[in-house]
Amino acid sequence: MSRTSRRAAARKRMQTLLIATVAIVITILLLLVLAHLGEDKPPIPDDSVSGSTSSQTSDTDGTNLTSKSDTDGTENSSQTSKTDKTDSKTDTDESSTSSTTNEGSGNTSDRTESHQEGSFSEPFDFSAWNLILLNPDNPLPEDFKVQLKTITLNGKSRQVDARCADAFVEMVTAAKNDGITLYLRSTYRGIQLQTDSFNAKVQEYIRKGYSKEEATAKTATIIAVPGTSEHHSGLAADITTPSYDRLDSGFENTDAFRWLREHCAEYGFILRYPSDKKEITKIIYEPWHYRYVGKQAAQIIMSEGICYEEFVERYGNTDQ
């Protein structure tokens, strides 16, 4: 073999060795890269362990595990659920407080709740300002003081107890929104004004031929004896309407009366002297006379069709 041929063969072997070396180096580098990637990859979890962990977290945290995977959906649902539980407790607490104090509110957001007779754990407090019993057998206490406020509705300014003034306004406004105009014909009356009205009626009957005793007894069925009238409390109102602005039984044939009978309890008022309760109330039927007692008491009275005296006997006592 010539020198030239030997040199050519040597160069060829060198090239082959170089190629082989490069290939080996590249292979080693690739293996190192793959090994590095394999170390960063998390291990595949065992299904049984994953299921056990998920169940335990759910038992402990409620729906929090699912909430984390769905912030806009399930988490909101979870928060709503918790809020509902809180609201439910609040409603229960408020209902319990209302059963104890029974002070009605004029806020229309306050709802009228259904009830079952005798379902209250405690009797109503009939010494509360809104539950005072006034009738011929229960005169106004000597130390009674009324907190008066003047309200103007449908062009008429009247004085009522300040604590139920909003309820009067809301009821009359609600009626107006339903196309019914209610006039507060008479609200608060002092004892002296009641005395003047009572005596004038007595004299009217005397002029008709009644004895003074007969005239007084007859007047007492129409006008409360001074000191026993609900008008002294500022909680009562005689209500009429433009189409029937008279205080007599004909008012029951008006849309205003029908609206009041259906909705008055929603605002804490009752029809004080029903037509079938004269023997109990000792007052004639007055479809125009409404009394504030608070929403809870009003709902019971109107839904059960009882008068206030029956309500007092059934849900508490007057020995306060």
Three state DSSP letters for 280-295: HHCCCCEEEEEEECCH
Catalytic status, residue 286: yes
Q: How high is the pLDDT of residue 281?
A: 95
Give pLDDT tens digits for 257-292.
Answer: 999 999 999 999 999 999 999 999 999 999 999 999
Q: How high is the pLDDT of residue 123?
A: 72
Q: How high is the pLDDT of residue 21?
A: 83
Q: Which of 103, 230, 266, 286 does the annotation list as catalytic? A: 286
Q: How high is the pLDDT of residue 81?
A: 36
Q: How high is the pLDDT of residue 1?
A: 62
Positions in the chain short of pLDDT 70: 1-4, 36-122, 317-320
8 A C-beta contact, residue 210 and residue 218: yes
Q: How high is the pLDDT of residue 36?
A: 66
Q: How high is the pLDDT of residue 177?
A: 98
Q: How high is the pLDDT of residue 19?
A: 85
8 A C-beta contact, residue 129 and residue 303: no
Q: How high is the pLDDT of residue 27?
A: 82
